[in-house]
Structure 1
Amino acid sequence: MSFASHEVIKDQRTSLNLTPEDPFAFDNGFELTFQLSFHRLTNAYGYVVRIIANDSVNIDLLSSPEHSEFHDMGIIVNNKQTDIQYEFLDVKLQPGTWTPVRIAFSPQTNQITVTWNGVKKTQSFPVAQLKTFRFFFGANDFGRFNTADVPPMSIKDVVLRDSDKVAAQWELKRHAVNEVYDSQKERVALVKNPTWLIDRHIKWVHRKNFVIGKYPGVAFNGKEGILYAADVNGVYTWNLQHGEIQFEKNTVGNVVHTDANQLLYVEQNHTLINYDVFTNTLARYNPERHTWTNRDTAYHEPSYWHNNKFYNAANGMLYSFGGYGFFSYKNVFWQYDTVAGKWINLKTNGTIPPRYLGASGVTAKGDKVLLFGGYGSQSGKQELSPQSFYDLYTFDMNDHRVKKLWEFPEGHSAEDLVFSNSLVINEADSCFYVLSFPKNKYESHIKLRRYALRAPETEVLADSIPFRFHDEHSFCDLFLSRATNELVAVTAHKEKGQYKVDVYTINYPPLRTQDVLQQPATASAAGYYVVLVFGIGAVVLFVLLRKKSKTPAVQANVHTHDAGHDIDFLKNLHEEKPVATINLFGGFQVFDKTGHDITGKFTMTLKELFALILLHSVKNEKGISTTELQEYLWPDKDEVSARNNRNVNIKKLRTLLEEIGNITIENNNSYLRLDIGLEVFCDYQAVFKILNADSSAVPENQKIELLLKYVKRGSLLPNLQTGWLDNFKSDISNKVIDALLAYSAKLDSYKDDKLLLDIADAIFNYDTINQEALVIKCSVLNKKGKYSLARTWYDHFVKEYKNLYAENYPKTFDDVIS
């Protein structure tokens, strides 16, 4: 997990709280271990970890490399330096490298011991007097111990041991939205503003975009992580690890003047090759002189669009397979004869049906090629039953034998999929990776797929990449950068005579979203979901009955669906099936119908557009008028321009809604409304139903339990700040606070202490200086014997109150807990 430091404002810095509820109690001492990495060694002041003992003593591992009175890092106890001090040179620290840290508290010897990267140091301290411990990495808001000073660091593999037994372990490889569970799922840690390093394996990062001219081609140097692009004018290079795009204009010669030319990087002799089979041309590039061996500048009609290419390092031969041109698909293997200087039709033992838009990749030994999928026909004729192929072949570059490994059965995909020009083979895991996209859509998305080498098995990985596909005027490719351990996706499409190139990367190996996202502990899930099913079912049943009443003076505003939907939906959750989900509390987050996080596909405009329609649809049966929507989103546009912007973005939003599932935008008499179907869950809709349910329909204790489940994640759309949203935020906040406070008055502070603390914490999400919540929190903590913790909360509240109102809080601590 990576921590945001001084490069961002204080509110956006990262915290990891291992003890959001009760502290750990260690009678025989404990040991805290973790892996630590610094992003940089300057401007690195902050708290690596703050340990609070007995809710009154702070023991800090503090980084302070640029303060002359302090060492680079050391232990501070109750704001005093100790003998445990380090210089970065002592542990041979380098930016970006992982180093092990061990902090041990021994009541037997009354010592604190720190071992950092093998260097051990000890400090005497009356550890035996310390009984309870809280742990905060980075920032924290725990009473008077709060801080926003965070060093630029990453941590992983956090382990707490009690007498050599693991008490809790957070690998930080998997996580939930704002929390992370230990390996036994018994302890939850809360996080704020995290950057999960593991997410780099499930999310594509848009790294670069640039424009090139006619006759484009791309190639990749995997050893050094360098992308090459060539066009009619010259060669572009971009190093993934550093630097901007470099362009070298051709001094002599040029690439083949056909739109179907292909570019290839040969690692063995560090050579760029550009070729076209139809014109019997192969050109080599001299990077020192910026010259091509091809001099022909005549334009040639393409005949081998999207053919595959592969190089045999053993004999220096270049091969090509497949392609499309002049209304026919190809299945000829071509080999370039370096002696004769021409392409020859290679005779093979075995054939592959004619196709193009397939993928190819060379095995580790370099003697075989995998050829996968594509689009074509058995006859090769475009007019006779063209189809997508989902089959895998090998081609032996030594004996030229073609062998079919497997094929998916007919009906494998509901739409015709085609693939990137290259695939990446992972022989260790017996699979390969390839980009896929629908052939018959212009505005579409590329998905990364993993296929098994030995059987027709596949799964979608990571999120998706936007792609405009216009057959011969678009292409995409996939490469492995061994230099940076990333997969590199390159897309290109033609715009106004030029090609727009986009480069995306993802950490290797890529993962599925469900490999990363944690689900809560399920020990008590069954009982909880019984309550949840009954509660929401009763709410919906009540609304339906009210609609059927004989004298409805006013029609119900809430758009609802039947109880059966909610029960089926919650059963799916209990069985941990992928569920389409829209979360608005604690931050905007959307999961599609397969459980993949697609939040990143929503631009700021789409996010606000979606929120506008959704919130109005839940609150008002009619939804929102198109006029009102345009006034909110495009107030500076004239009517025509605003309408065009609206239509374009509605179209984009509808495409994303298709990924979510059964949720559609209805247009009735210039009003837009979201119809949320049976398989889609929205937390705002659920909270709205709960808050507006009649108390006779649902027992109040169940209603509050349901409410807390969702609102404790945080306030409504906290990262979306816009005028129209204020009323929705204040309305839901007031209703949540009123409902929770009304119920809290009926509870017993001894029997219901945990529920009261949950209520207070939830209220603080919406009103950080709510005085009733302060009274609940401090009174309960005091009655539980946690006087110092109650006092800490009070001190923090008083500080916040003065910052906001510029005056002292009028009540004393004794007034609050009395």
Structure 2
Amino acid sequence: MGYRIIITFILFFTYTSQTFSQGLYIKGNNSLIDDRTSYNVFDKVIPTFKNILTIDFELVVEDPRSRGSLVRIKDEKVGAVYNISYNGEGNNPVFKLNHEGKNTLTSIPFDKDILNENQWIKVRVEFDMQKDSVKLRINGNEASVQLTQEEKMWKPVIYFGRSEHVIDVPAFKLCNLTITDNEKAYNFPLNESDGEIVHDSNRKVIGHVTNPVWLINDAYYWKKKPSFSSDAVAGSNFNTETQDIYYFNEDSITIYNIRTERTRSRSSKYTNKCPMPMRLGTNFIDYKNNRLYIYEVADPPQGDIVISYLDLQSYEWTAVTSEVLPMQLHHHSNYMDTKNGQYVIFGGFGGISYFNNFYSFDLSSQHWKKLSFKGDVITPRYFTSMGYNEADKNLYVFGGMGNKAGDQTVGRVYYYELYRINLDNHIIEKLWEIPWDKENVVPVRNMVFSNDNSFYTLCYPEHFSRSYLKLYRFSITDGQYEVLGDSIPIRSEKITTNANLYYNSRTNELVSIVQEFENNDIGSTAQIYTISSPPVTEAELTLYMSKPINWIRAIILSALGLIIVALIFFFLRRKSRHKKEAEVVLKNTPLAKPEIKEDNMPVETQPNSIYLFGEFSLIDRNNREINYMLSAKLRQAFFLILYHSIKKGITSQEFSEYLWPNKSYEKAKNSRGVTLNNLRKILGDLDGINLIHEKGIYKITFSDECYCDYLRCLEIVLGDSLDENMNEFISIISRGKFLESEDSSTQDSFKEYIESKIESTIHYYMEKTYTSGNYPATVSLCDSFFNLDPLDEEALHYLIRSLSKLDLKDEAKRRYYFFTAEYKKALGEEYSKSFSDLLK
């Protein structure tokens, strides 16, 4: 009995401390049979359970209308198989415990509304071998039945999802799996992020799963959802009650539902005309009355109405007031006090001043009121984060940027401090201020509180044009913090650009809306992101990736690696020799470089610039080329960090393993320190580029002062304005092959990455330029594509036809014969198409 109490206590502690960031998604009937998930809980060794066997887990059924087997429990000794199945067909979903192939032992109907809300469901099955009974519990509902079992010990084979001949499986999420008897407990956090092996809570390999989808990745990587654009000033917000994201302007509203992932638009279908022009898109939701308010605090562009609301049921606009505040307050923080019917704002920037006033707008009286407080004073600032904590009924303000004088000309200070504001007794209390030794950042307008006395907010270095948002979790008690998840890109060029963070309790996710305004301060795009809550750190994501080194295996793999590298080097050298021979032939009959239109092209070289296409070139602020300052090792280091900076950066360990794989930890650490210090000094000769180190991650960041053809190329390829940037793209890739003279193996992944990104774009432009009659540009594109694939037939087709259109048929024939010669060398056979075939 004592063991049972201890095990119960362990389970209680586990369930109260576990989170839903971990888990396994079981692919079911919505996937092909071979792609469905099969999770064998005890793959290595099957333990023996005495007298009682209890299996606890939690699940979410993806489609409430699905059906099939959830888990099978097999007693091989007596040849019995039991399973828990789900059937959501019809109006009454039901969970069943079955003696497989014989009969249903017991069943429990379930509330369809809970299933539709994707809430986690607690499941327990308990086989009592002493009392000859079995219990099934689904959330709080329990059913039991007698089940005679002669054996008092059981070595169960347990499968979740597909198992043997059982292929009818509903898709579902699984987490918090624990299997116990009176003496022992096996807990499976299911916090793997990759691979097919499953560990218990002691990090011991116990199980195996095929076709897994690990849920922890959803708690680290932000999911990019739809984006919406408007040519007119627009606002955005998230209604946590209806799950709707609103993106709206004066004429229309687009509504995206997070849960259903459906978008509906009421374009030009407001019941009446919006009574005020929108200038900044600032807004809030009155949940009590189901209204969306838009407002301006000062300087209405025209007319006198500055606050209006949209009824979210009838879509009718109502003008509220023309009352304004005495100053503009850009990037103020805000909170809607639904209980008291007031909207509270704090701080902001206007003119050349920072402010520290609290104002509240009373929805009943329709008047602004300045709030007065006792206690600590918050210095004037903007870019603060504010939120209301239901746990202690207090308002909190975090961070910001400003100064004590409130005068922008004095300079600015970044604040990393937290204030607690009691709206009932009007007292402000400063809780903490933490030191900050990294890149300065500012938070977004709002924060999300968790139940562990902490809060989340997004922070970013707003002083970079191409910046990134990172999710932080701060302790309310002492300010200790963690950086969670990967980053969200944001262009922080315009003061109207903003980002917001929300918590969606229905889906247990954090939601971010990043709204970027265009150069005219009018048009904007709102991009939606979600991440599972609670989010995790990189260390949690990669928990099982750091393993002890098996030296024998490492030596064997290293030897094999050296052989492969030698072979690759041999073939590349051979290929390079053939290419040089061909270049000599081409030089004897030179082709005049085609003329390309120079609209919107960047200058060939300019101060503070980096060129990676063709010959690598580093230009300092004085327009001097300083490539010579970078040794081979420094170049490798620079390219390695730059490549990983597009993603999440590179860890210290990864950096050392790439560049000093055979050195000891201490020697690699010393070499790393020297290399990075030298690299920082050299990059210090350029403006607008920074090598930063944060939480063990190295990353290179850029501002608009520094031009990098690689980044600009990616921006064009991944953007929405391909046609507008065609000439600039051609000028970039026409410099030559990416990192043309850099042959270190550390750059191979970098080269493959950019080549994969630009391949389809070159093909697109080939067709476009040829169709429009811009044959010189087509020739340049074909030459650039041959850097990626010298045997591409489509590029040859466009090249030959374009040269012929330019009356350069001799050159076309020479290029054709060169191609066929290379084709035969590479593939050992003649090229099948004749020159005349390509001209048809």
Report the counterpart of residue 19 of structure 1 in structure 2: 42
Structure 1 residues 536, 400: CA separation in 2 closer, same or farther (over 3 Å shift)?
A: farther
2 CA distance for matches of 1:325 and 1:236? 30
Structure 1 residue 378 displacement after superposition: 3.4
Structure 1 residue 3 displacement after superposition: 0.9
Structure 2 residues not aligned, in runs of 5+: 1-23, 301-305, 567-572, 575-632, 637-657, 671-692, 700-713, 719-736, 770-786, 789-825, 827-840
Structure 1 residue 475 displacement after superposition: 0.6
Q: Deviations over 1:670-707 (max 9, x none)?
A: 99xxxxxxxxxxxxxxxxxxxxxxxxxxxxxxxxxxxx
Q: Is the 8 A contact 1:533 1:570 kept in 2?
A: no
Secondary structure of 2:517's counterpart equals strand
Report the counterpart of residue 759 of structure 2 in structure 1: 634
Q: Which amino acid aligns with 1:230?
A: F
1 CA distance for matches of 2:42 and 2:441? 48
Q: Deviations over 1:386-426 (max 9, x none)?
A: 232222234444565444332223xx143221111111234
Structure 1 residue 492 displacement after superposition: 0.7
Structure 1 residue 358 displacement after superposition: 1.4
Report the counterpart of residue 309 of structure 2 in structure 1: 284
Structure 1 residues 33, 114: CA separation in 2 closer, same or farther (over 3 Å shift)?
A: same
Report the counterpart of residue 424 of structure 1 in structure 2: 448
Out of 170, 195, 201, which is 1:183 matched to?
A: 201
Out of 467, 477, 483, which is 1:460 matched to?
A: 483
2 CA distance for matches of 1:330 and 1:124? 76
Structure 1 residues 420, 168: CA separation in 2 closer, same or farther (over 3 Å shift)?
A: same
1 CA distance for matches of 2:103 and 2:352? 80
2 CA distance for matches of 1:94 and 1:258? 40
Q: Which amino acid aligns with 1:380?
A: G
Q: Deviations over 1:279-334 (max 9, x none)?
A: 383333344351130698x9x99932212233455654433322223343333333
Q: Which amino acid aligns with 1:381?
A: D
Q: Is the 8 A contact 1:370 1:394 kept in 2?
A: yes
Report the counterpart of residue 162 of structure 2 in structure 1: 139
Structure 1 residues 116, 302: CA separation in 2 closer, same or farther (over 3 Å shift)?
A: same
2 CA distance for matches of 1:308 and 1:390? 15
Structure 1 residue 638 displacement after superposition: 4.9
Structure 1 residue 51 displacement after superposition: 2.6
Out of 306, 310, 326, which is 2:335 matched to?
A: 310
Report the counterpart of residue 794 of structure 1 in structure 2: none
2 CA distance for matches of 1:317 and 1:73? 50
Question: 1:264 and 2:284 equivalent?
Answer: yes
Question: 1:151 and 2:151 equivalent?
Answer: no
Structure 1 residue 7 displacement after superposition: 0.6
Q: Which amino acid aligns with 1:634?
A: E
Secondary structure of 2:410's counterpart equals coil
Question: 1:407 and 2:433 equivalent?
Answer: yes
2 CA distance for matches of 1:27 and 1:457? 45
Q: Which amino acid aligns with 2:346?
A: F
Out of 301, 304, 326, which is 2:351 matched to?
A: 326
2 CA distance for matches of 1:536 and 1:211? 55
Structure 1 residues 510, 625: CA separation in 2 closer, same or farther (over 3 Å shift)?
A: closer
Structure 1 residues 534, 98: CA separation in 2 closer, same or farther (over 3 Å shift)?
A: closer
1 CA distance for matches of 2:46 and 2:462? 56
Question: 1:244 and 2:253 equivalent?
Answer: no
2 CA distance for matches of 1:291 and 1:382? 38
Which aligned pairs between 1:226-625 and structure 2 lie closer than 5 A?
A: 226-242=244-260, 243-247=262-266, 249-252=269-272, 254=274, 256-257=276-277, 259-279=279-299, 281-287=306-312, 288=314, 290-293=316-319, 303-312=328-337, 316-336=341-361, 343=368, 348-349=373-374, 351-364=377-390, 368-398=394-424, 400-409=426-435, 412-426=436-450, 428-495=451-518, 497-515=522-540, 518-519=543-544, 529=549, 532=551, 561-562=659-660, 565=663, 567=665, 594=695, 620=745, 623=748
Structure 1 residues 51, 357: CA separation in 2 closer, same or farther (over 3 Å shift)?
A: same
Structure 1 residue 174 displacement after superposition: 6.4
Equivalent residue pairs, number? 585
Report the counterpart of residue 166 of structure 1 in structure 2: 184
Report the counterpart of residue 210 of structure 1 in structure 2: 228
Report the counterpart of residue 580 of structure 2 in structure 1: none
Structure 1 residues 395, 627: CA separation in 2 closer, same or farther (over 3 Å shift)?
A: closer
Structure 1 residues 51, 369: CA separation in 2 closer, same or farther (over 3 Å shift)?
A: same
Structure 1 residues 20, 146: CA separation in 2 closer, same or farther (over 3 Å shift)?
A: farther
2 CA distance for matches of 1:271 and 1:93? 26
1 CA distance for matches of 2:114 and 2:418? 45
Structure 1 residue 4 displacement after superposition: 0.7
Structure 1 residues 58, 355: CA separation in 2 closer, same or farther (over 3 Å shift)?
A: same
Secondary structure of 2:356's counterpart equals coil
Report the counterpart of residue 697 of structure 1 in structure 2: none
Q: Which amino acid aligns with 2:287?
A: E
Among all aligned residue pairs of Structure 1 and Structure 2, give the percentage whose two residues are the same amino acid: 20
Measured on the aligned residues, the alpha-carbon RMSD in Å equals 5.4
Secondary structure of 1:183's counterpart equals coil
2 CA distance for matches of 1:489 and 1:202? 14
1 CA distance for matches of 2:253 and 2:758? 42
2 CA distance for matches of 1:27 and 1:488? 46
Structure 1 residues 21, 396: CA separation in 2 closer, same or farther (over 3 Å shift)?
A: closer
Structure 1 residues 341, 52: CA separation in 2 closer, same or farther (over 3 Å shift)?
A: closer
1 CA distance for matches of 2:105 and 2:219? 36
Report the counterpart of residue 59 of structure 1 in structure 2: 81
1 CA distance for matches of 2:217 and 2:229? 29
Q: Deviations over 1:57-104 (max 9, x none)?
A: 572527485999xx9856456xxx224445564999974562534263
Structure 1 residues 622, 433: CA separation in 2 closer, same or farther (over 3 Å shift)?
A: closer
Structure 1 residues 400, 536: CA separation in 2 closer, same or farther (over 3 Å shift)?
A: farther
Structure 1 residue 476 displacement after superposition: 0.6
Q: Which amino acid aligns with 1:227?
A: I
Structure 1 residues not aligned, in runs of 5+: 548-553, 573-591, 607-611, 645-669, 672-726, 728-818
Structure 1 residues 103, 337: CA separation in 2 closer, same or farther (over 3 Å shift)?
A: closer
Report the counterpart of residue 44 of structure 1 in structure 2: 67
Q: Is the 8 A contact 1:308 1:323 kept in 2?
A: yes
Secondary structure of 1:637's counterpart equals helix
Secondary structure of 1:334's counterpart equals strand
Q: Which amino acid aligns with 1:61?
A: N
Q: Which amino acid aligns with 2:224?
A: H
Secondary structure of 1:379's counterpart equals coil
Structure 1 residue 231 displacement after superposition: 1.8
2 CA distance for matches of 1:276 and 1:417? 26
Structure 1 residues 105, 67: CA separation in 2 closer, same or farther (over 3 Å shift)?
A: farther
TM-score normalised by length of structure 1: 0.59
Secondary structure of 1:245's counterpart equals strand
2 CA distance for matches of 1:503 and 1:494? 15
2 CA distance for matches of 1:597 and 1:485? 31
2 CA distance for matches of 1:311 and 1:38? 35
Q: Is the 8 A contact 1:179 1:189 kept in 2?
A: yes
Structure 1 residue 8 displacement after superposition: 1.2
Secondary structure of 1:21's counterpart equals coil
Secondary structure of 1:471's counterpart equals coil
Q: Which amino acid aligns with 1:59?
A: V
2 CA distance for matches of 1:628 and 1:82? 56
Q: Which amino acid aligns with 2:144?
A: K
Q: Which amino acid aligns with 1:308?
A: S
Q: Deviations over 1:166-217 (max 9, x none)?
A: 2533243666643332234445212233344555544433344322453323
Q: Is the 8 A contact 2:28 2:168 kept in 1?
A: yes
Secondary structure of 1:2's counterpart equals strand
Q: Is the 8 A contact 2:54 2:124 kept in 1?
A: no
